[in-house]
Amino acid sequence: MATPENLQPAVIHPVIDPFVLLEHNPDETPIEASSQIKVESATGQVLGASRRSQPASLEAMRIPERLNPAIQPWLWLKFGESSGYAPLDWVAIDWGSTAARDGALATAVDHLALRGVIRKPFLTPVADLLTRAAPKRSVPVQVLSDDGVSRHETIPDVDWTRPEMLVRLDVRRGGIDSLVVYAVSDRARLFSFRNGDASPVNILVEEDHPFANQVETRDLDGDGKPEWLLEVVSTYGDGYYSRLWVLAGNSVESAVKLATVPLSRSSGESDGEIEAAWWLDPEHRLWIGRAGKRQTTGSCLRYVKQTLVPCGSHRSFAVAVFAREPRFSVARQIWLERRETVPAGVFPVIERTDLRWIVGHPFLDKDSARAWTKRQAGAEMIVWPASSGNSR
């Protein structure tokens, strides 16, 4: 929300070459049927936006809507005498703040009130500062392999200076306070976790165009430095996969402590699709629900000595459910409305052959789940078979 006195005019800059606009509103005319308008002007302005959200590329369509930042309205833009539509990722948005371009990055980010996950189109006011803050060439990095294992390595003569994303949460306890993601090539990304003036913790993913989706911080081991939990999504071939990262809050450049666990995936293979979602309960237990074509399974993990370990040798888990919806967005809205008073997560389940999204609280035993359901009007209990979920 913004009050009128705080509104600022936005200037639009193209970030692709050649830059074109679509003549027709994508709400009314399919993208492939719209005429293209070549744009000569270097700056433009926003006139409005489409009402519907849709991705601009076939690659972006591989990722489901709930994980997909490319599914968004198209902007109605004016460049010179020409006007038309373009997706948000084709432009950079600058709202003109000279104070933000001077001094320290943290000061500029505070000045602009940038919080949460800020993606590339909105990084323009601090792009120069983010570039200056990028790791130097040939610095040591942790290279994360396809199976989630990392190795310490020095990558010579690589330019890390194309900021793609800034994540800044309210973490002010002497640990990692922000994350900057840099594009290294068309598909590689460097995740640079920052800790004040200390050397950043740098994790390189060399392929599959990864990006962070859901991000949360929680002090899982009680050392006063919150761990960072990220759901990192990547595309490959004709599919996608996601993986949960847990980075220890006391990680430093010389001692990176990263644990990973597979989540969702999709491919053309038989039984290749898995929908997964995760939630941290009030006792810092990590719950993961996975829905495949035939069944739903659950995992409970604890963070012990910078490692994710099973909560115990359980054959099943009970889940107290108070909402069940066919669409993720509806289930998440219910969760948002009740999360302050009812601790619960949003998980996928398979019912016969249909995917549903539940809002509920998993438990290690049925008695605890039954007791919880009695306190929630209309709640019911379901059972998840336990699964390690260690395969991609």
> For 160-185, what is each residue's pLDDT tens digit?
878 999 998 876 667 888 999 999 88
pLDDT, position 389: 54
**Residue 131 and residue 92: Cα distance in Å, rounded?**
15
pLDDT, position 60: 78
192-229: per-residue pLDDT in tens? Answer: 998 877 788 999 998 888 999 899 999 999 888 899 99
pLDDT, position 171: 61
pLDDT, position 391: 43
Q: How many CB atoms lie within 10 A of CB 162?
A: 17
- Lowest-confidence region among 38-52, 268-282, 360-374: 268-282
**244: pLDDT strictly greater than 80:** yes
Q: How sure is the predictor about 267, in pLDDT bands with cuts at 50, 70 and 90?
A: confident
**233: pLDDT strictly greater than 80:** yes
- Lowest-confidence region among 3-7, 215-219, 307-311: 3-7
- Lowest-confidence region among 32-46, 102-116, 298-312: 102-116
pLDDT, position 363: 97
Name every residue whose Cβ is closer than 8 Å to that of residue 137 and which is 6 or more positions away in sequence: 156, 157, 158, 159, 160
pLDDT, position 392: 41
Sign, CA torsion 46/52/54/56: negative
Give Cα 172 to chain centroid, integer Å: 21
Name every residue whose Cβ is closer than 8 Å to that of residue 15 and which is 6 or more positions away in sequence: 89, 90, 91, 92, 120, 121
pLDDT, position 1: 45
pLDDT, position 199: 83
**Tokens 């994790």 belong to which residue?**
203
Q: How sure is the predictor about 99, in pLDDT bands with cuts at 50, 70 and 90?
A: low
- Lowest-confidence region among 101-105, 220-224, 323-327: 101-105
Q: Output the CA torsion 349→335→179→101 (10° steps).
A: 140
Q: What is the mean pLDDT of residues 136-145?
A: 84
**Residue 322 and residue 276: Cα distance in Å, rounded?**
19
Tokens, residue 10: 């936005």
pLDDT, position 2: 52
- Lowest-confidence region among 20-34, 218-232, 237-251, 376-390: 376-390
**310: pLDDT strictly greater than 60:** yes
pLDDT, position 101: 61
CA angle, corner 167, sides to 188 and 98, nearest 5?
105
**Residue 206 and residue 215: Cα distance in Å, rounded?**
21
* Portion of the chain with pLDDT greater than 70, in percent: 93
Mark 39-65 as b/e (b = at least 16 C-beta within 10 Å): beeeebeeeebbeeebbbeeebebbbe
Tokens, residue 71: 């599914």
Q: Nearest to residue 289, comparing CAs of 238, 331, 257? A: 331
